[in-house]
Amino acid sequence: MTEIKVIGVIGGGQMGSGIAQLAAAYGHDIWLIDSDPAALTKATNSISSSIQRLVSRNLLSREVGVDALQRLKCSTDLKELHSADVIIEAVVESEDVKRKLFLELDKIAKPSAILASNTSSIPITRLASSTTRPEKVIGMHFMNPPPIMKLVEIVRGVDTSDETFDAIKTLAERLGKTLICSQDYSGFIVNRLLMPMINEAFFALYTGVATKEDIDTGMKLGTNHPMGPLELADLIGLDVCLSIMKVLQSGLGDDKYAPCPLLVQYVDAGRLGRKRGLGVYDYRKLPKPEKSKSRL
Ligand SMILES: NC(=O)c1ccc[n+]([C@@H]2O[C@H](COP(=O)([O-])OP(=O)(O)OC[C@H]3O[C@@H](n4cnc5c(N)ncnc54)[C@H](O)[C@@H]3O)[C@@H](O)[C@H]2O)c1
């Protein structure tokens, strides 16, 4: 099996930056690519403060933290990925954008490179079909935030080889994750179950069943969920939730997955959740968390 040294991550948003941080902390050299230079600046700052937080809580040694930051390189140029052994795509949840990206990556990446997608819901077989190496394309679905959450959902496309599966399984385990494997159907396992619940929480709010606080408290204290569905939607991003519901609706051919009009309206209004400071809840009024005093 090819040794995985250099990992390319595309998309410096909340998932891509978290995946880059995690893989760097486990000793991989990272190229983090985003088409938006501002996203790379934001990603570098958030990785740096996240590492400082982990060090100050003794969850990461200072040496590993310093080493991880040195292993991270950022660029807007996809061509930097020619040296990567594995490329993990974490750009917006749009099939069009991802297919175009896989088409380009297929030309840039070395022939032995594995192309993985962090998609939440889009079938891997469809992304693989825009490349000439479908046997090297696989779903590697991290949970949010990637450095903390223990799960990786692996999705094999129809042509994914055993060799590719074994390499990604080994990588995920080395990153300290527990794996589950899903067949390649829209939404896989986690979002097939999670997103209809979140969508139903929006319907409960939309139809006046209860307040947002009571919906979330009901699920936290009544069913032992660590976060309420509406709080979780804000963490994930309402745009991501909406895209996933649309993929479920069209991919599984069932209107029971039709997105709630309130979810659509919030996204139309730019209320995308925590990343914008406003979603179901308003985060702009919350006091800023205290800056960690420890320095790397
Ligand atoms: N948000 C979550 O909780 C979550 C969890 C698991 C998986 N995912 C999946 O991860 C992916 C990314 O989600 P996110 O929440 O990090 O999104 P995000 O909006 O935070 O970040 C997306 C980033 O991709 C960049 N981008 C867009 N098109 C690009 C391109 N063609 N080339 C390079 N960069 C490009 C954007 O500039 C942005 O910085 C999606 O597929 C999503 O479904 C999200």
Q: Where are the domains of the chain?
A: 6-182, 191-276
Whether the link from the prior residue into 145 is cis, omega within 30° of 0, is yes
191 carries an active-site annotation: yes
15 lines ligand 1 (CB under 6 A): yes
Which atom of ligand 1 is found nearest the CA of 93? 41
CB atoms inside a 10 Å sphere around CB 104 = 15
Spot the catalytic one: 121, 191, 199, 243.
191
DSSP 282: B
Average pLDDT of 261-288?
A: 93
Task: List Cα–Cα distances, 241 to 30, 53, 259, 260, in angstroms.
Answer: 28, 28, 9, 11
Output the pLDDT for position 159.
Answer: 98
Which tokens hold the place of 129?
């079909």
d(CA 118, CA 112): 19
Does residue 25 have a pLDDT over 90? yes
pLDDT for position 288 = 58
Query: Catalytic annotation on 225?
Result: no
Q: Which of 85-99, 168-182, 192-206, 276-290 has the lowest mean pLDDT?
A: 276-290
Residue 293 banded pLDDT, cuts 50, 70, 90: very low
pLDDT at position 105, please?
Answer: 98
Q: Does residue 18 have its Cβ closer than 6 Å to ligand 1?
A: no
Q: Does the beta carbon of 36 lie inside 6 Å of ligand 1?
A: yes
For ligand 1, atom 39: residue with the closest CA: 13
Structure tokens at 244: 């996933």
Is the CB of residue 8 less than 8 Å from the CB of residue 156?
no
Name the CATH superfamily housing domain 191-276. Answer: N-(1-d-carboxylethyl)-l-norvaline Dehydrogenase; domain 2 (1.10.1040.10)
3-class state of residue 216 by DSSP: helix
Comparing C-alpha atoms, which of 4, 8, 54, 46 is closest to residue 27? 4
Fold of 6-182: Rossmann fold (3.40.50)
Rounded-to-integer distance, Cα 47 and Cα 19, Å? 10
- Is 144 assigned a ligand-binding role in the annotation? yes
Q: Is 11 in the pocket of ligand 1 (CB under 6 A)?
A: yes
Query: Which comes out higher in pLDDT, residue 232 or 3?
Result: 232
Residue 34 assigned to a binding site: yes
- For ligand 1, the distance from its centroid to the CA atom of residue 13, given in whole angstroms, is 5
CB of residue 10 inside a 6 A radius of ligand 1: yes
The pTM of the full predicted model, rounded to 2 decimals, is 0.93
Count of CA atoms in the C-beta half-sphere (13 A) of 101: 27
Q: What pLDDT is stored for residue 212 in this prediction?
A: 98
Average pLDDT over residues 246-260: 97
CA of 98 to the centre of ligand 1 (A): 10
